[in-house]
Every structure is written in C-alpha cells, then in structure tokens.
Structure 1
Amino acid sequence: CKTVVDGDNVVTSRFMENITAPPFWKAALRANHLADDVPVDRWQICRFTPPSHVMIEVGVAHAGHGGVDAPAEHKVYSVVVDFITPETDTSMHYFWGMARKFNPADKALTAQIREGQGKIFSEDLDMLERQQRNISDFPERKLLKLNIDAGGVQSRKVIERVIAAEQGASA
C-alpha cells in the first residue's frame, strides 16, 4: 500500500500483480466476456477529498496488459463512491454507490452486485456503529494509528486541519 497526500487530497493505492482473481472479479471478467482462468493484475485506488468524499477505483486486468492502464478489452473495473455527512456529534448519513465499466446493460448482474455490495456495507455499518460506541464509552482513549491505516490517519489530519482553519476564520 502507498499513501500520498497532495494538499487536502489523500490517495491510497494498492497494486497486486499476476494473482488469481477473487470470486467477484472472476464473475466480472466472465460478465465482460473475458477469460477468468488467467492471472490478473488487480488495483485499488482510494481517493479522499474533504470534507467527506471517498472515491475508490477497483479492478482487474489480464496480467501483463498494463493493469489499471490496460486497454478496455483486457480489464474490468468499478468506481465506488462514499459520501458521509454528520447528522449529530455521534451519528452520520452514509451514502454510497457503485458504477461499473463492464456489461452495464445486464440488469440481473446489476441486481446481483447491488445485493452483494449492500451486504458488505451492512457489515461496515455494524462495525462503524460499534466503533462509535467505543469512542463514546471511552473518550479518553486515543485511536490507534497502524501502518495499514495510513490513508485514514492522513485523512483525519486533513479533516482536523480544515476544521481548525474554519474555526480560525470564524473567530
């Protein structure tokens, strides 16, 4: 994983070369009439923009064709968007969506992906709610800053800087 901060934007990227495609991406390759039994190059590029926008490009390409830069006939990918806005000090509204660049006219595939993504986001919601309860129950505890969380850590720093600038401007 590599995290880059450019002003208020944070980009965390992960590239995996010459691997076996995970089940979701095997199905996506088949849905786009591409071989699913060959090694792939996989990518995840997560972009955070304040105040609370996250855009994640994820995909696979047949190995050796350029990964994220591969021509369309050798890859499948999606863009996931998250928009998070506070409701109260301890709650938020979490809007998300996913657009795919493979076989967009297939309504059954759309329904299948929507159901799968909904399950994933439900699991995320449960974890986020538990995290918030822990933060509320133990406010004296600091969040752990692990190397794997570099993107989140840097995004929090950007948010803190933006809030401080807003508070300074209103003083």
Structure 2
Amino acid sequence: MFPLNQWYVGGFAHELTDKPLARTLLGRPVVIFRSGDDGVAVLEDRCCHRSVPLSCGILDGGGIRCGYHGLLYDGSGACIEIPGQVKIPGKARVAAYPAVIRDEVIWVWFGDASGTQPHCEPPAIPAHSNPRYQHKTGVVHYRAPYQLIHDNLLDLSHVGYVHGKTIGGNAKVHMEAPTTVSSDENSVRVVRWMKASTPPATYTAAWPFKGLVDRWQEIDFHLNHLQIFTGAVDVGAESLENPERGGFHMRGFHGVTPETETSSHYFWTMSASAHPEQPDNIDLVYQQTAQTFEEDRVIIEEQYRNMRQFAGAPQVDIHVDAGANRARRIIAVRTAA
C-alpha cells in the first residue's frame, strides 16, 4: 500500500511523556515511548500473551509493562519479565521498529521485511538548530489519503483562494506566478516567484515591509516529508536567486505519514525569522500557520468525500499540477517495487 524501506515521521520528541503514545502508522498499530538510553522505542501495540494493547500499560524502567498481566518488554520488543514466572519463553516478544530522534522529530523505519534495518540516516531539519529562526510544532489528523496532502503542498497556487486572511494574497498573481518544476527518481522541486506583489496578512504582521514585496516559494518533496521555504523581501531589494537573501523567512517542515489508506497524520513545524523591531513574532506566525493548515484540512477532507461520492468521474489536470503529478509517479514506482 505504501513505499517501504523508508523513514516516516511518527511524532515529536516533546510528545514522549510518562505515558505510552499509541499511533497507527502505515496501517500498523504501534506504541511509542522513551527507551532506557534516553532514546525512543517503537513496538507493535500488542502484548504477545493475550493481545491487549501495550499502550494500555505503563512505562517501567525504560521498558513498557502490559496493563493486563504485567509482562515487561524492553525497547527491542523482547519480554524480559513475567510476574510469577521465572522462565521466559523464547517466543515471548513483539515486533520492534528502528526509531531515532533527530532535530526533535521521531523517525520510524518501515522495512519490506521483518527485521530490516535502515540503510540511511533520517532527514535533517537544519532550521530547527539555526539561530536565525524560532520554531514551533503542530499535529493535524486527516480523514483523507496522504497523497492528497502532498498534492496540496506541491501546488501553492491555491493559497490565494483558501488562505486569503493569512498567507494568501492576490489569487490571480498566485495562479500566474512563474514556476519551475524539476525532479529526479526520489524528489521533486517546485520554485515559484511572485515579484512586486502585495504582502499577505501574515507577512505584514510579522515583518515591517515598506510596500510591495518580491515573494518566493521553494518546495522540496521527498517520499517521507516536504520542506517548504517561503518568504519575501522589499521589492527590488535583493535577488531571489541569492540563497543568503534576507527579509522574512518561513521554513516549514511537513511530515506526512499515512495512518491507513484513507487517513493520515500531518506532523509540521514552522521556523520563522524575526526583524529586530519585531523579535517576538513566532507565536503570531504559529497561530496563523495553524489556521492555514486547518483550512487545508477542511477543504481536503471535503475533496476526498466528494471523490468517493463521484467515484470514477474523470478529472482534468491543469498547469499547476505538474509537481504533484511527478510526486505521484515517484510514489507509484516505489510502492510497486
């Protein structure tokens, strides 16, 4: 159903508390918790004794104890204690998934066979440790397939219509923005420029622009996440080709992980730069970003509802679909493999 031999986002480090965290990822119920070495463990959410969810239990000494009969499991999935019984059967274990925390994100490896180990490191999120930015996190649950979220993020022409009160701006300018799409077998990059445009509400609230701005959107899609770099400078102030350009920056991380074939987890972070005159803008940027993602959720869930209602009805592609179509081809090839 989904591309395997990949890292997927399972959550954020701050979600690991003194209680187990239950989630379904790629159709597999798992329990996530802090392991004894201050790392993270991800096990199938099932006790091997009577199948009670381990997430109904408690954390104990870096392991997790079943809330039914007290069997204790370590981070590898092995049962290491059975109350009242000295001998532990060799088969007393559950499946474990390799997992790490990097840049505050919990990454879980899903292989194509039991015991498959990662062959690469999980992606980095440089903005999280860049002193130029402050960031905050959010989680959204979608009752829709994950590729519809990819489509939405790869086609930012919609923001003028869906997000008019925050990051939108002139809808016509968005639809006509010069766009470059490039790709390889694993990724898609979409770059859009909107020069001499009116800054949207979120931008003017977070940065003291003088008037019109030169605005950019740079979208990088990978199978397990997207990173989107958006922002603006005063019109004509700097070249948009300069990677070190100043102005207002918003760097978004978007970890889109399938829950099932028809539902998804959307783990996001937003990192923003601050002007010396407005140093505390991260709460405003976060609130407006959260609002835009809620607007996206509503329209995507309505889209999916209508797709089921009109199942089989033809759809027509237009010019803004190039990036999303390339991403879908990458996913189709990797899923088939």
TM over 0.5: yes
1:45 counterpart (211, 214, 218):
218
- State whether residues 61 and 68 of structure 1, in contact with CA within 8 Å, keep that contact through their aligned partners in structure 2: no
Partner of 1:69: 242
Tell whether 2:270 aligns with 1:98: yes
SS in 1 for 2:199: coil
Partner of 1:57: 229
C-alpha deviation, 1:68, in angstroms: 5.1
Supply the distance in 1 between the matched residues of 2:287 and 2:275 (Cα, whole angstroms).
Answer: 17
Q: Which amino acid in structure 1 is aligned with residue 212 of structure 2?
A: P
Partner of 2:163: none
Tell whether 2:309 aligns with 1:137: yes
Partner of 1:11: 189
Supply the distance in 2 between the matched residues of 1:103 and 1:161 (Cα, whole angstroms).
Answer: 44
Cα deviation 1:100-120 (Å, max 9, x = unaligned): 12259944x222222111111
Partner of 2:324: 152
- State whether residues 272 and 282 of structure 2, in contact with CA within 8 Å, keep that contact through their aligned partners in structure 1: no
Aligned pair in 2 of structure 1 residues 57, 119: CA closer, same or farther (>3 Å)?
same
Alignment length, in residue pairs?
Answer: 157
Structure 2 unaligned spans of 5+: 1-178
Tell whether 2:334 aligns with 1:162: yes
Tell whether 2:198 aligns with 1:25: no
C-alpha deviation, 1:142, in angstroms: 4.5
Supply the distance in 2 between the matched residues of 1:121 and 1:20 (Cα, whole angstroms).
Answer: 22
Greater C-alpha radius of gyration:
2
SS in 2 for 1:159: helix
2:257 counterpart (82, 85, 90):
85
Supply the distance in 2 between the matched residues of 1:48 and 1:111 (Cα, whole angstroms).
Answer: 26
Supply the distance in 1 between the matched residues of 2:301 and 2:243 (Cα, whole angstroms).
Answer: 39
With normalisation by structure 2, the TM-score equals 0.43
SS in 2 for 1:139: coil
Say which structure is richer in helix.
Answer: 1
C-alpha deviation, 1:122, in angstroms: 0.7
C-alpha deviation, 1:63, in angstroms: 2.7
Once the two structures are overlaid, the 10-residue window that deviates more, 94-103 or 84-93, is 94-103
- State whether residues 206 and 284 of structure 2, in contact with CA within 8 Å, keep that contact through their aligned partners in structure 1: no
Supply the distance in 2 between the matched residues of 1:25 and 1:164 (Cα, whole angstroms).
Answer: 42
Partner of 1:33: none
Partner of 1:2: 180
SS in 2 for 1:140: coil
- CA RMSD in angstroms comes to 2.3
Once the two structures are overlaid, the 10-residue window that deviates more, 19-28 or 38-47, is 19-28
Q: Which amino acid in structure 1 is aligned with residue 266 of structure 2?
A: Y
Q: Which amino acid in structure 2 is aligned with residue 37 of structure 1?
A: K
- State whether residues 59 and 68 of structure 1, in contact with CA within 8 Å, keep that contact through their aligned partners in structure 2: no
With normalisation by structure 1, the TM-score equals 0.80
Aligned pair in 2 of structure 1 residues 27, 67: CA closer, same or farther (>3 Å)?
farther
Aligned pair in 2 of structure 1 residues 158, 142: CA closer, same or farther (>3 Å)?
farther
Supply the distance in 1 between the matched residues of 2:307 and 2:248 (Cα, whole angstroms).
Answer: 39
